[in-house]
Amino acid sequence: MLFIDCQLQDVKVEGTIKKAITQWFYSIDRNDVRINNIPTTLTPEDTIVSFRDIYRIGEDKLAPARVYDIYVYRELSELKGVLQKYQELFSVIDSTDNSEKIEGEVLALLWHIIDGYQNNDMNSQVKFQIKDNGMYYLINLLDIIYFEHDINLRRIRIVTSENDYFYRSSLTSAMERLPDYFCRCHHGIIINTRKISRIDNETALVYFDDNRSIKASVRGLYELIRMLKKQL
């Protein structure tokens, strides 16, 4: 079981982090994830993600479960003082950042953690949630071929094998919500590397399973090839 807990002294920051946690929670389809309400009895198979004030560092951990402590600090001096004493910190969040940045960091951390926690079939169940014209859509990640910034419509277009979806956001924000098999191969395009069938190095064209293709930038193509080599 994966438990996620957030208890902070700053009510505003706590609300921002809980908002991001809720957004992430409703983008997955799992019965073994719980928000708050950590039980007193845990097993080595359990995992806890805990967002805590930095002054709480060093408190007893909830053994025998695996624990990821994410500490929230306000003053840089607080962080420096902690780093001098403790050598191992999973991650920290600056509470003085704006809400959008904090939410992005929380989402990125949760995706990173669950990548190591999840079962092999997890990705077939994860959904990408968007809102457009008052309607909410949950799109299976494995159905997504690529994201594209549509300059004319000033929206993000999500291309799947069956439908296209549009919503107002940025590709940077989308990347923060995506697992690591998505790659931004161009300033205006994010692709699902699991949908790639072949790459033409000379033309920088990336082809997908359904014969669609997009053109990567020079730098994007380099990053894409490097990512694919790591996955081998």
CATH number belonging to domain 2-123: 3.40.50
194-218 residue pLDDT tens: 999 999 989 999 999 888 999 999 9
Backbone angles phi, psi at 42, to 5 degrees: -130, 165
**Token pair in block for residue 132:** 């457009």
% the chain with pLDDT above 70: 87
d(CA 14, CA 95): 9
126-231 shares the fold of 2-123 = no
d(CA 69, CA 118): 18
CA distances from 140 to 92, 125, 145, 172, 178 (A): 30, 7, 11, 20, 12
Dihedral in degrees, nearest 10, Cα atoms 187, 153, 107, 190: -30
| DSSP secondary structure letters along 20-70 | HHHHHHTTS--SSEEES---S---TT-EEEEEEEGGGTTPPP-TTSEEEEE
Whether the per-residue pLDDT at 90 is higher than 50: the answer is yes
**Token pair in block for residue 118:** 């999840």
Whether the per-residue pLDDT at 119 is higher than 50: the answer is no
3-class state of residue 78 by DSSP: helix
Whether the per-residue pLDDT at 4 is higher than 80: the answer is yes
E strands, 176-216, in order: 182-186, 189-192, 196-200, 205-208, 213-215
The most confident of the ranges 40-54, 61-75, 95-109 is 95-109
Lowest mean pLDDT among 133-147, 151-165, 178-192, 198-212: 133-147
Q: Where are the domains of the chain?
A: 2-123, 126-231
- For helices 11-25 and 99-117, the axis angle rounded to 10 degrees is 50
The confidence band for 32, taking pLDDT boundaries of 50, 70 and 90, is confident
49-64 residue pLDDT tens: 889 898 887 666 555 6
Dihedral in degrees, nearest 10, Cα atoms 221, 223, 229, 231: -120
Q: What is the mean pLDDT of residues 73-102?
A: 79
SS percent in the chain: helix, strand, coil, step 5: 35, 35, 35
126-231 topology per CATH: OB fold (Dihydrolipoamide Acetyltransferase, E2P) (2.40.50)
